[in-house]
Amino acid sequence: MPIAITSEHSDLADSVRSLVARVAPSELLHEALEVPIPNPPPYWKAAAEQGLQGVHLSEAVGGQGFGILELAITLAEFGYGAVPGPFVPSAIAGALISADDPEAKILGGLASGETIAAYAIDSGLTATRHGDGLVIRGEARAVPAAAQASVLVLPVAIESGVQWVVLDAAQLEIEPVRSVDPLRPLAHVRANATEVTLDEDAGRVLSRLSRAHARALITTLLSAEAIGVARWATDTATAYAKIREQFGRPIGQFQAIKHKCAGMIAETERATAAVWDAARALDDAQEDPSAETHFEFAAAVTATLAPAAAQHTTQDCIQVHGGIGFTWEHDTNVYYRRALVLAACFGRSSDYPQAVVDTATTTGMRPVDIDLDSDTERLRDEIRAEVAGLKAIPSGAERNTAIAEGGWVQPHLPRPWGRASEPIEQIIIAQEFNTGRVRRPQMGIASWIIPSIVAFGTDEQKQRFLPPTFRGEMIWCQLFSEPGAGSDLASLTTKATKVDGGWRITGQKIWTTGAQFSEWGALLARTDSSAPKHNGITYFLLDMKSPGVEVKPLRELTGNAMFNTVFIDDVFVPDDMVLGEVNRGWEVSRNTLTNERVSIGSSEPPFLANLDQFVEFLRDGQFDQIEQNHAGQLIAEGHAAKVLNLRSTLLTLAGGDAMPAAAISKLLSMKTGQGYAEFAVASFGTDGAVGDPEQEFGRWAEYLLASRATTIYGGTTEVQLNIIAERLLGLPRDP
């Protein structure tokens, strides 16, 4: 999905996308590979009339008065179109000047499009004091759009540190050089005793713009363009995989291609979430300068992820296209070149994972919070008062009953089982229970089963099962997987035969979490072997104490027994324990599995190392630069996964579909969680072989052992990739 979540931002993205499609079609891009486009480009006036050059600039200077997030949305669309010329460099230069002084005189020309600017992220420029001004000498290499700009915003080493200085192109020697991407021209810029006044009215030295702020602006906005490139590569590879046929079928039906495309969208979505977060952090800092450390961290995260996403996805796009993708005439040529130049424009790529580690272990990570509108405060006050009343109940059993009867356990459910809460109310409830330190009964596996009982159960089933489950008194397990049918539920062999008053069921289930402690189980069994596979399944509620049910704990790789094998030998289940309609259990099971995947994707399992624990581990240890680079990558991935979950929640608030983000979050976060433990154990050296859980290395070894299950349960990584490819990207299903 694009950066935009709200309807206003989606409208902005649509507007920019329409302009880009009109002014930068494929044929123009290929012409520009051979013959440089004019300066300013033909689209410059149309963009100015739409207010795009000044979307992020103050209304006082003729801009639209929006923020960095709106500019990032705009630049992502320019990246999607690989728009040639100086638009992106000029916009970044304007953002630097505006961050120092939103009403600087020079911004008027930038907002109207009359002035074109360029910037550099680093340089060899130095300044010495001379009278009331500075004398600048040195060189800035490979400056984007320097030869097209009349104003350049360049970093200069001054006595007090590096500061960005606004220079006229006429003051400088500008040498155009050949660019890997002809659509993004470069030039070396030299200052030979260039004089600059220190008069604040001139606004030449951006003294109020810190080096950290400047680099965060540059890298976040470059990242916005990069994710536009990544999104184009993902869309284009997917579209081609749908129509290109080999061996009599579309190549998108082959799992290797399907998984490659799914990996592309996952990496793109993660980077998009990071850009969105960094842009919001920069806008927050405009309101609250104390939030600077937050944007430093967020910008380092996005600079770690976004340029890599652009480069990886454009490479994969070429691979999916095969030989045609390696031709000069194909658009893949244009976008791969753009990705390579963008990656170079960040400077040394290893700097950013290092910055992630440094900020995370010192000033801390950026919080991942949902800020609700002030008009929700009345609702919050009401919920806070009710939570306080629950907390005042002295007996834990009575409190749990009150929480259950009040619909607080799963408030999104309809009354009387929930509170029919809209998403905003659900968020406030979760926040207030956490803040008030009131513990709601834990549902465990039941949290995935309850919605199915609410949606498909009879009144008698609801009254019998839901109240004790909500009170935490009734424990459930899920009897879906079989030795020959893990994620492939359509291949179930457990058989249910109709008898008087009910069904006789025989079969075997495996990987059943908590079955040895459970009173009831949600059971899938085949009731019609002649029906199409999905239509011949029925959903039963099984009393785990029934004669013929045998539970054998399955000792796992960890040495523990969370899973079980369950043998079901001619077990009688009465008719009133069928959930939903006979032979329609697939619909019910999909409701359960949907709840499972959303739950797994939006939380960090307690038996695994989480991001906070990993950062604490790094803070207490000594690691070389290679290890720190690896750790920074993992932290960036972990933080972006949290932001993906936040975006999923906000999409729900906006009435959108949160499932794509949830599926991708599950895929990515579990792999990253494994990475935390792998890193820690590898860092212990020989002590990594010691399995004493009372010592730190033993504890991390336990995390590592347990983590192997995370890319299997709830849908294996391979199944998740298929789901993402087929449901999100629309690639053809396996035959």
| pLDDT tens-digit series, residues 628-673 | 999 999 999 999 999 988 888 777 776 666 666 667 888 888 899 9
Give me the pLDDT at residue 40, please. 95
Share of the chain above pLDDT 90, in %: 72
Give me the pLDDT at residue 422, please. 82
Residue of 225, 267, 425, 596 with catalytic role: 596
Instruction: Using pLDDT thresholds of 50, 70 and 90, give the confidence band for residue 297.
Output: very high
Cα–Cα distance for residue pair 170/173, rounded to 1 Å: 8
Give me the pLDDT at residue 62, please. 96
Q: What is the mean pLDDT of residues 685-694?
A: 87
CATH of domain 7-118: 1.10.540.10
Q: What is the mean pLDDT of residues 362-383?
A: 85
Instruction: Using pLDDT thresholds of 50, 70 and 90, give the confidence band for residue 291.
Output: low
Given a cut of 80, whether residue 590 has pLDDT beyond it is no
Give me the pLDDT at residue 655, please. 67
Q: Do 135 and 191 touch, CB atoms closer than 8 A?
A: no
Q: Do 304 and 636 touch, CB atoms closer than 8 A?
A: yes
Pairing of strands 117-119, 151-158: parallel
Q: What is the mean pLDDT of residues 520-533?
A: 90
Q: What is the mean pLDDT of residues 457-465?
A: 97
- Whether 600-728 and 7-118 are alike in CATH topology: the answer is no
Residue-wise burial string across 340-362, b where 16 or more C-beta atoms lie within 10 A, e elsewhere = bbbbbbbbeeebbbbbbbebbbe
Residue-wise burial string across 643-664, b where 16 or more C-beta atoms lie within 10 A, e elsewhere = bbbbbbbbbbbeebebbbbbbb
Q: What is the mean pLDDT of residues 49-54?
A: 96
Give me the pLDDT at residue 2, please. 79
**Count of Cβ atoms closer than 10 Å to residue 668 Cβ:** 24
Given a cut of 70, whether residue 307 has pLDDT beyond it is yes
**Count of Cβ atoms closer than 10 Å to residue 678 Cβ:** 17
Instruction: Using pLDDT thresholds of 50, 70 and 90, give the confidence band for residue 600.
Output: very low
The topology under which CATH files domain 469-596 is Butyryl-CoA Dehydrogenase, subunit A; domain 2 (2.40.110)
Does residue 596 have an active-site annotation? yes
Given a cut of 60, whether residue 592 has pLDDT beyond it is no
Instruction: Using pLDDT thresholds of 50, 70 and 90, give the confidence band for residue 370.
Output: confident
Lowest mean pLDDT among 140-149, 163-172, 380-389, 553-562: 553-562
pLDDT per position as a tens digit, 222-232: 999 999 999 99
Give me the pLDDT at residue 292, please. 67
Q: Which CATH number fits domain 600-728: 3.40.50.1970, 1.20.140.10, 1.10.10.10, 3.30.420.10?
A: 1.20.140.10
Given a cut of 60, whether residue 120 has pLDDT beyond it is yes
Q: What is the mean pLDDT of residues 691-707?
A: 87
Q: What is the mean pLDDT of the chain?
A: 91
The topology under which CATH files domain 120-202 is Butyryl-CoA Dehydrogenase, subunit A; domain 2 (2.40.110)
Show me where the domains of the chain are located. 7-118, 120-202, 469-596, 600-728
Question: Structure tokens of 623?
Answer: 């690691």
Q: Do 245 and 724 touch, CB atoms closer than 8 A?
A: no
The vertex-165 CA angle with 161 and 170, nearest 5°, equals 145
Give me the pLDDT at residue 601, please. 39
Q: Is 20 left (phi over 0), alpha (psi -120 to 50) or beta?
A: alpha
Give me the pLDDT at residue 603, please. 55
Lowest mean pLDDT among 458-462, 593-597, 611-615: 593-597
C-alpha dihedral, 420 to 421 to 426 to 430, nearest 10° = -60
Give me the pLDDT at residue 435, please. 83
Given a cut of 60, whether residue 118 has pLDDT beyond it is yes
| Rg of the chain taking only CA atoms, in angstroms | 29
Cα–Cα distance for residue pair 544/541, rounded to 1 Å: 9
Give me the pLDDT at residue 598, please. 36
Given a cut of 60, whether residue 602 has pLDDT beyond it is no
Q: Do 253 and 732 touch, CB atoms closer than 8 A?
A: yes
* Higher pLDDT pick, 691 / 75: 75
Question: Structure tokens of 23?
Answer: 């002014």
Q: What is the mean pLDDT of residues 283-293?
A: 76
Share of the chain above pLDDT 70, in %: 94
Q: What is the pTM of this model?
A: 0.89
